[in-house]
Amino acid sequence: MAATIGFDFGTNSVRCLIVDIATGKELGTAVEVYETGEAGVMTDPSDHNIARQNPADYLCGMEITTREALAQAAQRNPSFTPDAVVGIGVDTTGSTPLPLDKEGVPLAMRPEFGDNPNAQAWLWKDHTGYAEAAEITALAAKGYPEYLAKCGGIYSSEWFFSKILQCLRVDPAVFDAAYTWAEICDYIPAELTDTTAPTVMKRSRCAAGHKAMFNKEWGGLPSREFLAQLDPKLGALRERLYAESYTVDTVAGYLTEAWAGRLGLTAGIPVAVGAFDAHLGAIGAGVKEGTLVKIIGTSTCDVLVSAELDRDVPGICGIVDGSVLPGYWGLEAGQSAVGDIFNWFVNSIEPGGKEQASHEELTSKAALLRPGQSGLLALDWNNGNRTILVDQRLTGLLVGQTLHTRPEEIYRALVEGTAFGALAIIERFEEYGVDIQEVINCGGVSEKNEMLLQIYADVTGREMKISLSSETCALGSAIAAAVAAGKASGGFDDFEEAQSAMCHVKEVTYQPDPENHNVYQDLFRLYMQLHDAFGVQGAATDLSTVMKDLLTIKERALAEHV
Amino acid sequence: MAATIGFDFGTNSVRCLIVDIATGKELGTAVEVYETGEAGVMTDPSDHNIARQNPADYLCGMEITTREALAQAAQRNPSFTPDAVVGIGVDTTGSTPLPLDKEGVPLAMRPEFGDNPNAQAWLWKDHTGYAEAAEITALAAKGYPEYLAKCGGIYSSEWFFSKILQCLRVDPAVFDAAYTWAEICDYIPAELTDTTAPTVMKRSRCAAGHKAMFNKEWGGLPSREFLAQLDPKLGALRERLYAESYTVDTVAGYLTEAWAGRLGLTAGIPVAVGAFDAHLGAIGAGVKEGTLVKIIGTSTCDVLVSAELDRDVPGICGIVDGSVLPGYWGLEAGQSAVGDIFNWFVNSIEPGGKEQASHEELTSKAALLRPGQSGLLALDWNNGNRTILVDQRLTGLLVGQTLHTRPEEIYRALVEGTAFGALAIIERFEEYGVDIQEVINCGGVSEKNEMLLQIYADVTGREMKISLSSETCALGSAIAAAVAAGKASGGFDDFEEAQSAMCHVKEVTYQPDPENHNVYQDLFRLYMQLHDAFGVQGAATDLSTVMKDLLTIKERALAEHV
């Protein structure tokens, strides 16, 4: 038996998954919530934009989960021993950069910075750099439009340089003490293989291309001149960052004796170059040309690959050569909040009971409603809009409520709002020539919420498939590990072969109901009216029929089923 | 001692108030919830538009409350005896018409119609006639624009002819059996004085002018030709309705022996012609030229009087000679839901606890928020828009919610939404030359909710006064009774004299805070953008800055008070 390990560093916890290379079967798994902060996230009640993580939690979490997963694998599979593990892959959240010293040690691990939130990892959902993001966007729009073309036209506050520039502005002591900055998907494989020194650390193509405007066309990272215009110190940082980046089939290095000891594995096995969870999750779900993988959790990531691209797709947050599968353009889109919107409603607005019980109760009532019946329509922008409008400074909207509106109607409208957002993304891709023949869903929400999948099928008019594995990110990392290891070590020589052996979808799929789809087409038209009216500058739209159209759709929905 | 009785027939209950004529002091009072339906309203879960009342409940309620109020008055005031009562006044909800037979007996009291909802009183908030309202509006707009000019440009589904025409369409048996239709404010004084026969029943000017397009200019009710175009039977009904209407200083008739016996009063005392609750409420609150009376309850009525009017005020639901004070134009405006919106949120959406406890808890948290701090903005149209847009087919809207939005923030935004709606009405009046120098509030919500009054002061930039009496409608009816009785019977010969003796405001008033007013001016501008975009046909408005402006206002509100 040959196996690989996939580590999945999520927003709140790290998972270790041990997978049988031949079948993709899960041999053992374990998960550990990060120790620091609230559910692993350091926040600040006075500034909702702040979200940081203690990098020591990542290392500690790997050790605990690997030992647990190995024990479980051995218990469940008598023939399994730790030396069956021939490689390690790593996926993480991102952009989650952290400052490192000249030896590649996180500043957060030095006593003088241990308590300083600015020396920690700046979690993807940290939005403190929104002004810096606007500044970067403005500067690029003026003189460097090519930088923006690959990242949706707007540089996000969630991304690498927005965060580093914000750190430079608010905490120059941390900035000055940092020799370089790395994404945690760069740092973790390097840490495991003693390649953290900036000269040897292999940087993730996925992170570099999607979050740091890295592109061979213009010689890698944005020019020193560009960065220096934002701040001379940022310009000077450029040469201490990186000049090359690597796809996930690349070996980052080989497991050190020290880490082999801590984890209970064999020293010298290859560790693949890291990537973001969504990208490796797409691999784990079976992404290939024509397949859209939707990873639906607190937020949503949409991932596609394409061998050829005629032109850039505006509003798509990332278009990067090799960011998912080597040899293909990786296309990334997404919605800034999906499950988070439902959680907000259940936990903050309608606290009828315990969280899960409320979700279940609302879902069971909402599932009985017909499309259009509530008369409600919601925009899914409670956490901004990531794809198409690429604007964090958009907010939620609910229209159509009367004195009779029920919580389950709002809940369903929120789910439908995210489905309309999903369809807007699909239409944007197809408009620019990226065909979508299949949709595979994965992630926590798609596992749990049948109503949501049926609504997504009805709204998009497409079949919704679900990945068989509930841990596609970790599985994708394990697949990358198998490819990095290569056939000679019991792995595979390419992703096609590896995915064909290791990826599967569930038998149950969700088919669109044509009648429901028709109603949703009407509602989607209204959604797009609101989308453009509130989201697109200068789009003066006549909204005076929106409320009446919603009432008409509602009355039709009620009349047809008396 | 001389006293009068004011009966106030509300949406859920009837109140009897016995008042000392010399001072306006309350001698005794009692209230009784109508027996039929849910809290006195007959509804139908399959059609939210239906709201009816059993007219027998009105009569029964008068008897119970009068006896209780008389007992209380005697107990509290040893010198009081029932023969101190020298007159009766009546206010009711409206338009609340009911079908009567040739003797003036409600069809609902005949066995063959007893259970038929269409034979009952059609409560003001019954909206089943919305299609008929649109039909009446369309016909009038085409050939009879003068009919619409006095009622805001749009004939409402809440009004007299919409309901009668709807009855004709859905239940011709009831329509055919009805000799005539009356407002309950016509019927109740007539019932007490044996003047229900259509030839002698004195119809309320207030009801006729505000709800039935009655105006001396065109010879009373709309022409037979107009009504016949809607339906020949409606045309034929016209001559069985009425040709004259009367102000509230008119004596409708004298209390019969039979009713004197039932109520425990002296036979032969005068009963004043009835009017709607808001109009008599305005009198009870002290309405005079330059004074806006706001009656804030589940919905809001705004009442003004003006000796002269240059031109009609578009979007104001009623402009009627003598509908409030004889000799003045009575102007009526309003918001279709105010307290109802807060109740909806507390009872349906955020059921954290018992109704009153939740209101109090949310209010105490919401009161700590600064204007603009929530980033939220709400339209107050959960029950349509009564004034300016005059459109029942508008619905609620909330914008600005994030994943951090709290229930108390939404609650405050809903209160603020109603305040912006109130300011829009004030601005509309002033734009058309009706000066407002004073605002007196009354009604349940203004009694209970200090935060709301402060927000109304801050939003409008005007001092908010509160009527001393908590029963201004019943007090207004008692004042009308005192004027109808006249000085010779211990009453008054005119309203000025009567109000000066009987109306008072509380010592505590709410002063606008100039800083808050400034923030609210910014928010009001955004409110009007949404108001016009969603409410005015063809008003293509650029809304793309609304969400961002709300965030900017929010950040300013937070920054100024760090």
Shared-domain flag, residues B112 and B46 = yes
* Residue B442 is assigned to a structural domain of this protein: yes
Q: What pLDDT band is residue B448 in, cutting at 50, 70 and 90? A: confident
Can you give the pLDDT at residue B353?
A: 57
Q: Does residue A283 fall inside a structural domain? A: no
Instruction: With beta carbons under 8 A apart, name residues in chain B contacting A396.
Output: 398-402, 405
Report the distance separating Cα B203 and Cα B242, nearest Å.
Answer: 7
Both A274 and A406 in a single domain?
Answer: no
Residue A285 has pLDDT above 90, yes or no: yes
Residue at A539 is within a domain: yes
Whether residues B304 and B421 share a domain: the answer is yes
B11 part of a folded domain = yes
- DSSP states along A5-26: EEEEE-SSEEEEEEEETTT--E
Q: Which member of B344, B398, B407 has the closest CB to residue A398?
A: B398
Q: Which amino acid is at B473?
A: C
Is residue A175 in some structural domain?
yes
Q: Are residues B399 and B478 in the same domain?
A: no
Q: What is the CATH number of the domain that holds B40?
A: 3.30.420.40
pTM recorded for the entire structure:
0.86
- DSSP, residue by residue, B45-82: TT-TT--EE-HHHHHHHHHHHHHHHHHHHHHH-TT--G
| Chain A: closest CA distance from residue B12 (Å) | 17
Nearest residue of chain A to residue B555 (CA atoms): A47
Distance separating alpha carbons of residues A420 and A426, to the nearest angstrom: 10
pLDDT score for A358:
84
Q: Are residues B233 and B317 in the same domain?
A: no
Percent over 70 (pLDDT), chain A: 98
User: For B395, which residue in chain A has the nearest alpha carbon?
Assistant: A400
Tell me how close the Cα of B414 comes to any Cα of chain A, in angstroms.
12
Check residue A353 and give its pLDDT.
57
Q: CB of B394 within 8 A of CB of A549?
A: no
Distance separating alpha carbons of residues A194 and A86, to the nearest angstrom: 18
Q: Using the 8-state DSSP alphabet, how is residue B368 labeled?
A: T
Residue B515 lies in a domain: no
Q: At A5, phi and psi to the nearest 5? A: -110, 135
Average pLDDT, chain A: 95
Tell me the count of A-B CB pairs closer than 8 A.
148
In this structure, the answer to whether residues A490 and A561 fall within a common structural domain is no
> Which of the four pLDDT bands, split at 50, 70 and 90, describes residue A316?
confident
Task: Please check whether residue A511 is in contact with residue A342, taking contact to mean a CB–CB distance below 8 angstroms.
Answer: no
Structure tokens at B555: 């950040």
Q: Which two tokens stand for residue A379?
A: 């925009």
Q: Among candidates A529, A522, A531, which has minimal Cα distance to A549?
A: A522
pLDDT, tens only, B90-144: 999 999 999 999 999 999 999 999 999 999 999 999 999 999 999 999 999 999 9
* Digit-coded pLDDT (tens) for B244-254: 999 999 999 99
- A74 band by pLDDT with thresholds 50, 70 and 90: very high
Tell me the per-residue pLDDT of B511-525, one tens digit each, with 9 for 90 and over: 999 999 999 999 999
- As a whole number, the mean pLDDT across chain B is 95
What pLDDT, on the 0 to 100 scale, is given for residue B317?
Answer: 77
Least confident interval from A357-366, A404-413, B61-70? A357-366
Average pLDDT over residues A537-543: 84
SS3 content of chain B, % helix, strand, coil (to 5): 45, 20, 35
Longest dimension (CA), chain A: 72
Please, which pLDDT band fits residue B277 given cuts at 50, 70 and 90? very high
Select the residue of B48, B396, B534 nearest A546 (Cβ to Cβ).
B534
* Cβ <8 Å between B401 and A410: no
Of B375, B382, B397, the CB nearest to A403: B382
Given this model, what pLDDT does residue B310 score?
79
pLDDT for residue A328 is more than 80: yes
Handedness of CA A315, A320, A323, A326 (dihedral sign): positive
To test the contact with chain B by mutation, choose from A403, A546, A561 the residue with the greatest count of B C-beta atoms within 10 A, namely A403
Q: Give the whole-angstrom CA distance, residue B114 versus residue B169.
A: 20
Q: Give the residue on A whose Cα is nearest the Cα of B389.
A: A544
Between the CA of residue A180 and those of A105, A268, B154, what are the distances in Å? Answer: 10, 27, 69
Q: Which residue in chain B is spatially nearest to A298 when comparing CA positions?
A: B403
- DSSP 8-state code for residue A510: B
C-alpha distance from B532 to closest chain A C-alpha (Å): 8
Are B138 and B274 members of one domain?
yes
Among the partner-chain residues B351, B352, B548, the one whose CB lies closest to the CB of A393 is B548
The candidate with the shortest Cα–Cα distance to B361, out of B402, B408, B314, is B408
pLDDT at A356 over 80: no
pLDDT digits (tens, 9 = 90+) for B48-86: 899 999 999 999 999 999 999 999 999 999 999 999 999
**Do A234 and A351 have their domain in common?**
no
Q: Do A534 and B548 touch (CB under 8 A)?
A: no
Q: What pLDDT does residue B351 have?
A: 64
Domain assignment present for residue A311? The answer is yes
Q: Residue for token digits 């000392």? A: B20
CB neighbours (10 Å) of residue B514?
9
A352 confidence band (pLDDT: 50, 70, 90): low
- Please answer whether residues A19 and A490 qualify as being in contact, where contact means their C-beta atoms are separated by less than 8 angstroms: no
Same domain, A247 and A330: no
Residue A107 has pLDDT above 80, yes or no: yes
Predicted local confidence at residue B100, as pLDDT: 98
Chain B residue numbers touching A399 (CB-CB < 8 A): 395-398, 534
Are B34 and B184 spatial neighbours (Cβ–Cβ below 8 Å)? no
In this structure, are A307 and A183 located in the same domain? no
Are B450 and B478 members of one domain?
A: no
* Helices and strands per DSSP (H, E), number in chain B: 20, 19
Long-range CB pairs of A360-369, under 8 A, 24+ apart, other chains included: A362/A407, A362/A408, A362/A411, A363/A411, A363/A449, A363/A451, A365/A406, A365/A408, A365/A411, A366/A408, A366/A409, A366/A411, A366/A412, A366/A415, A366/A451, A367/A450, A367/A451, A369/A408, A369/A409, A369/A412
Per the listing, tokens 């009801």 go with: B207
Give pLDDT, residue A124.
94
Residues B40 and B151 both lie in one domain: yes
pLDDT score, position A222? 97
The more confident residue out of B280 and A561 is B280
Which residue from A402, A536, A544 is facing B538, i.e. has the nearest CB?
A544
- A138-177: pLDDT as tens digits: 999 999 999 998 887 889 899 999 999 999 999 999 999 9
Ramachandran quadrant class, B42 (left: phi over 0; alpha: psi -120 to 50; beta: rest): beta
Residues of chain B with Cβ-Cβ distance to A383 below 8 Å are 402-403
The DSSP result for B10-43, as a single string, is -SSEEEEEEEETTT--EEEEEEEE-SSSBTTBB-
Residues on chain A touching B344 (C-beta within 8 angstroms): 403-405
Q: What is the mean pLDDT of residues A96-102?
A: 97
Q: Higher-confidence residue: B17 or A357?
A: B17
d(CA A65, CA A474): 13
Domain range for A308: 288-462+521-562
Residue A322: which H helix or E strand, with range?
Answer: none
Tokens found for residue B506: 């509380």
Give the model's pLDDT for residue B562.
54
Residue B144 lies in a domain: yes
How many angstroms separate the Cα of A13 from the Cα of each of A48, A57, A58, A182, A188? 21, 9, 9, 20, 15
pLDDT score of A220? 96
How many structural domains comprise chain A? 2
The DSSP-derived string for A98-154 is EEE-TTS-BGGGSGGGTT-GGGSEE-TT--TTHHHHHHHHHHHHHH-HHHHHTTTTS
**B340 interaction partners in chain A (CB closer than 8 Å):** 403
Please answer yes or no on whether A349 and B48 come within 8 Å at the CB atom: no
**Measured between beta carbons, which residues in chain B are less than 8 angstroms from residue A548?**
393-394
Chain A residue whose CA is closest to B411: A349
B-chain CB neighbours of A337 within 8 Å are: 403
Tens digits of per-residue pLDDT, B334-385? 999 999 999 999 988 876 656 666 889 999 999 999 999 999 999 999 999 9
- Can you give the pLDDT at residue B269? 98
Residue A355 pLDDT > 70:
no
The share of chain A scoring above pLDDT 90, in percent, equals 89
Q: What is the pLDDT of residue B153?
A: 83
Alpha carbon of A299: minimum distance to chain B alpha carbons (Å) = 12
Nearest beta carbon to residue A337 from set B341, B403, B407: B403
Nearest residue of B to residue A549 by CA position? B393
